[in-house]
Structure formats: structure tokens, C-alpha cells
Amino acid sequence: MIDIMELVLYEIVLILMLVAIFIIVLIWILLREIILVPTISVDTDRDQYFRGETVGISGNLAINGTPRPNETVALAIQPPSGDAYSLPNVTTDSNGAFSSSWNVPSDAIGGSYVLTATALGISGTKTFTRRRK
């Protein structure tokens, strides 16, 4: 008799747990749909540049993994010291991709430069180097 009761109890607990897991997974899926998580990536065509060379800039913007077209992306480059360079804004294409370029000025100091791209309130960075000749 006790064994049967125990088995019934296990059956009930098991069903309840399965229902709970189903509800939790459902909430998880709904939350992922409701909460929009934008991601941005930015890259340069090389890691090192000399003065006068052109830095090729590219990147991607997505929300929950889906490419985000027609969004404005702001770009800036912070040298090792001194004032940052503000680049013209660019717009993402149908694949959520964006591109730009920047000519390393003739008076650019040597060291690490940080490229920052911002869109939809989030930022991505890429570090590159201005090599000394």
C-alpha cells in the first residue's frame, strides 16, 4: 500500500516538475522576444598602420542576432594622448553592416589607438597601432 502511494506521489511530482519546466522555458522564450539585446562589432582591415595610410573600418549591428538595417552608427578614434577624432556617421546596410575609413594624419603620434563604434546605445571597440617608421 505504501509503495503504491509512493509511486503515485512520484508520478505527481514528476508531472508537476515537467509542467514547471515547460512554463519556465515558455517564460524564457517570451523574455528573449520582449527584451531586445543589441550587439555591435567593429574591426579594422589591419592591426598596424603608418602615417598617411588608410584605416579600413567595418562592423555589424544586430538585435537578438538579427541584422539591423538603416541604423546610424557613430565612430570615434581615441589616440594614445590628446583629443579624439570624430568620424562622420555611417548607416547600416540591409545586412546590418557598416563601413568607413580614416586616414592616419601626418602628425599622428605613435602608439595604440582605440576605435569606438556606437549605435542603439551600445558601443564596440577595436584597438590598432600607429607604427613608428
Partner 1 sequence: MKHIFKKAFYKRLGVIGTLALIVTGILISLNLFFALTAVEYRQDIKSTATISTIGIEVFWDITCTDLVTHIDWGVLYPSDIATETVFIRNSAGRAITGSMWTSNWIPVIAMDYMELTWDFGDAPLFPMRVRETKFMLSISADVENVTDFSFDITVLGTETIYFGYWEEGGLVP
The yes or no reply on residue 29 touching partner 1 (CB under 8 A) is: no
Piece of 12-20, 49-57, 58-66, 90-98 that binds partner 1 (CB under 8 A): 12-20
Considering the complex, what minimum distance in angstroms separates the CB of residue 24 from partner 1?
5
The yes or no reply on residue 26 touching partner 1 (CB under 8 A) is: no
Say which residues have a Cβ less than 8 Å from residue 12's Cβ, sequence separation at least 6.
Answer: none
Instruction: Give the integer Cα–Cα distance in Å for 56 and 64.
Output: 27
The yes or no reply on residue 95 touching partner 1 (CB under 8 A) is: no
Q: Is the dihedral of CA 101, 104, 105, 109 positive or negative?
A: positive
Count of residues touching partner 1 (by CB under 8 A):
32
Instruction: Give the integer Cα–Cα distance in Å for 39 and 61.
Output: 6
The yes or no reply on residue 28 touching partner 1 (CB under 8 A) is: yes
The yes or no reply on residue 2 touching partner 1 (CB under 8 A) is: no
